[in-house]
């Protein structure tokens, strides 16, 4: 199903759309307020973008530097060229440690690799410990937002879900009660976990350490209690120096939720005594995206989700309408690089308003890349015959002024004289909920001709 079809279904419940839109707009406004408090915000974005561009241009060297330093610190580093390899590596680490119970903090990469179903098929229990992720996991859904995974769910829906899975009492969606119950449930899982998996926000080449940002402290809980910590990262998570955190940590949480900083910015530099620490570095299509000049800067992304919160289409269509691991504007420029046919409707799920580009803390020109994907998609993916024919004819007409004059006249004649039932038929999608313009006498060309005749 295309984005527009899924979005139309989401829009059948207008009250829910309004709620979803307002919830995310609230976050966007919080972001504005937070960013306004930082002197030189636009300069910070410039710096972040520059650092990321440097990383992408020298990625091979930085990755090797990172690996060397991480190994020196006693971390075991693994390389995976795709999702399958990533999953196998994680599974083999777990097997070697006889780990059957795993707690996992937020990681879009492991979503991308579909790690959970893979491990579950090997009889390993994986518990997502981020509250939002736990909610979607219990609901057997995927995150609809990369920072707010359960934003599509109301507290009443969470109430029902918890009653069913955690045995809670009905509470009319009392957030305090539900959060406390989730805490108790998760605490038990933390205490009994054999291994912890986390994502990586930043991997620092000069130190070989990683930084994980959470608000719930769940990454720390998992990693500190379990004997084995596996951190999974895409190759683009590298930053050259620890000092660069001063740029990225200031941008990340403000852009994401409007907080000055996440509650926890946890630095993992080496395994604690008696424990193991592994880092799995994953490509999974990133090198290919890096090779596409027009789209390489999409790899600057630090997964803040600001483009989703600001996107008027995302806010009104919900994350699941994108049918991709990363939804929203950034997902719409990343996903076509992975599977052009499957994701061919996504670059069209935008008015090219450019708000995403303006909020992006690492200055990815998202809306320009959407435009560029469109040009490639109509060439490489079969298009609806009507759309293709109309637009190609249009191209020919607009290149011939005389033909254009005839077309303009007949279109206006149709709109003026054709009966309403003909104009507002099923073929007229515009007219489903909107009136067509009322035709005035003649067009500008005629008016101008007459004026000059009379004048």
Partner 1 sequence: MKVGLFIPCYINQLYPKVGIATLELLEKLGVEVYYPTGQTCCGQPLGNSGYEENAKGACQVFVENFKEYDYIVGPSGSCIHHIKEHFDILEQTDAVKNVRNNSYELCEFIVKILGKKNLGASFPYKVGLHKSCHGLRGLKLGSCSEKMDAYYSTEEELLKEVKGIELMSLKRKDECCGFGGTFSVFEEAISVKMGKDRIQDHLDNGVEVITGADHSCLMHLDGLLNRNNQPIKVMHIAEILNSSI
What residues between 307 and 326 interact with partner 1 by CB under 8 A? 310, 312-313, 316-317
**Measured between alpha carbons, how far is 173 from 54 in angstroms, rounded to an integer?**
47
Tell me if 88 contacts partner 1 by CB under 8 A.
Answer: no
**Measured between alpha carbons, how far is 12 from 185 in angstroms, rounded to an integer?**
35
At its nearest, how many Å lie between partner 1 and the CB of residue 358?
A: 4
Tell me if 228 contacts partner 1 by CB under 8 A.
Answer: no
Q: Which residues contact 129 (CB under 8 A, 6 or more apart)?
A: 103, 104, 105, 186, 189, 190, 216, 218, 221, 222
In DSSP terms, 280 is beta-bridged to 78, 232
Letters for 396-435 (x = contact with partner 1 by CB under 8 A, - = none) are xxxxxx--x---x--xx----------------xx-xxxx
Residue 185 Cα distances to 20, 106, 119, 353, 385, angstroms: 28, 17, 21, 43, 54
Tell me if 41 contacts partner 1 by CB under 8 A.
Answer: yes
Q: With respect to partner 1, which residue has the nearer C-beta, 264 or 407?
A: 407
- Cβ atoms of 45 and 362 within 8 Å: the answer is yes
Q: Which of 166, 340, 353, 423 binds partner 1 (CB under 8 A)?
A: 353
At its nearest, how many Å lie between partner 1 and the CB of residue 310?
A: 7
Residue with tokens 């269509």: 317
Q: With respect to partner 1, which residue has the nearer C-beta, 339 or 413?
A: 413
At its nearest, how many Å lie between partner 1 and the CB of residue 289?
A: 20
Q: Which of 1, 4, 92, 122 binds partner 1 (CB under 8 A)?
A: 4
Tell me if 79 contacts partner 1 by CB under 8 A.
Answer: no
Residue with tokens 């490509």: 283
Site for partner 1 in 362-401 (CB under 8 A): 371, 374-378, 383, 387, 391-392, 394-401
Stretch that binds partner 1, among 38-46, 163-171, 217-225, 263-271 (CB under 8 A): 38-46
Stretch that binds partner 1, among 64-72, 124-132, 193-201, 441-449 (CB under 8 A): 441-449
Letters for 332-351 (x = contact with partner 1 by CB under 8 A, - = none) are ----------------xxxx
Q: With respect to partner 1, which residue has the nearer C-beta, 132 or 337?
A: 337
Tell me if 445 contacts partner 1 by CB under 8 A.
Answer: yes
Q: Which of 16, 23, 30, 38 binds partner 1 (CB under 8 A)?
A: 38
- Cβ atoms of 306 and 255 within 8 Å: the answer is yes
Q: Which of 15, 172, 444, 453 binds partner 1 (CB under 8 A)?
A: 444
At its nearest, how many Å lie between partner 1 and the CB of residue 46?
A: 12
Beta strand 209-214 pairing with 202-204? antiparallel
Tell me if 284 contacts partner 1 by CB under 8 A.
Answer: no
**Measured between alpha carbons, how far is 337 from 373 in angstroms, rounded to an integer?**
9
**Measured between alpha carbons, how far is 52 from 240 in angstroms, rounded to an integer?**
9
Q: Which of 59, 211, 359, 366 binds partner 1 (CB under 8 A)?
A: 359
- Cβ atoms of 83 and 114 within 8 Å: the answer is yes
- Cβ atoms of 200 and 237 within 8 Å: the answer is yes
The closest alpha carbon to 259, from 39, 38, 40, 22, belongs to: 38
């Amino acid at each position: 199903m295309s984005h527009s079809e899924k979005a139309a279904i989401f829009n059948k419940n207008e009250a829910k759309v309004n709620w979803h839109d307002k919830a995310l707009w609230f976050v966007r406004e919080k972001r504005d307020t937070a960013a306004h408090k930082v002197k030189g915000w636009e300069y910070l974005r410039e710096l972040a973008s520059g650092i990321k561009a440097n990383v992408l241009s020298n990625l091979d060297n930085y990755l090797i530097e990172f690996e060397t330093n991480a190994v020196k610190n006693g971390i075991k580093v693994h390389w995976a060229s795709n999702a399958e390899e990533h999953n196998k590596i994680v599974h083999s680490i777990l097997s070697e440690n006889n780990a059957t119970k795993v707690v996992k903090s937020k990681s879009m990469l492991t979503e991308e690799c579909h790690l959970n179903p893979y491990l579950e098929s090997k009889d390993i229990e994986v518990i997502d410990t981020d509250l939002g992720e736990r909610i979607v996991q219990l609901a057997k859904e995927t995150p609809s937002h990369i920072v707010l995974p359960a934003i599509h769910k109301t507290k009443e829906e969470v109430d029902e879900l918890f009653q069913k899975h955690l045995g809670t009492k009905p509470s009319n969606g009392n957030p305090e009660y539900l959060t406390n119950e989730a805490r108790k449930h998760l605490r038990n899982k933390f205490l009994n976990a054999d291994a912890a998996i986390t994502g990586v926000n930043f991997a620092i080449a000069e130190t070989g350490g990683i930084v994980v940002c959470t608000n719930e402290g769940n990454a720390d809980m998992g990693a500190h209690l379990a004997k084995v910590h596996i951190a999974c990262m895409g190759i683009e998570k590298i930053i050259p120096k620890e000092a660069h955190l001063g740029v990225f940590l200031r941008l990340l949480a403000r852009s994401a939720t409007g907080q000055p900083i996440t509650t926890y910015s946890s630095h993992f530099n080496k395994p604690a005594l008696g424990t193991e620490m592994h880092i799995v570095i994953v490509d999974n299509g990133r090198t290919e995206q890096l090779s596409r000049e027009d789209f390489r800067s999409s790899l600057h992304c630090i997964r803040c989700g600001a483009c989703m919160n600001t996107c008027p289409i995302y806010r009104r269509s919900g994350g699941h309408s994108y049918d991709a691991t990363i939804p929203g504007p950034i997902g719409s420029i990343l996903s076509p690089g992975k599977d052009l046919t499957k994701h061919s409707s996504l670059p069209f799920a935008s008015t090219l308003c450019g708000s995403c580009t303006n909020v992006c803390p690492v200055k990815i020109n998202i809306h320009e890349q959407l435009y560029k994907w469109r040009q490639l998609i109509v060439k490489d993916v079969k298009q609806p015959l009507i759309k293709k024919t109309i637009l190609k004819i249009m191209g020919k007409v607009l290149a011939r002024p005389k033909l254009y004059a005839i077309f303009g006249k007949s279109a206006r004649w149709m709109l003026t004289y054709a009966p309403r039932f003909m104009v507002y038929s099923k073929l007229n999608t515009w007219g489903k909920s909107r009136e067509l313009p009322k035709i005035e006498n003649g067009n500008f060309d005629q008016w101008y001709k007459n004026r000059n005749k009379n004048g």
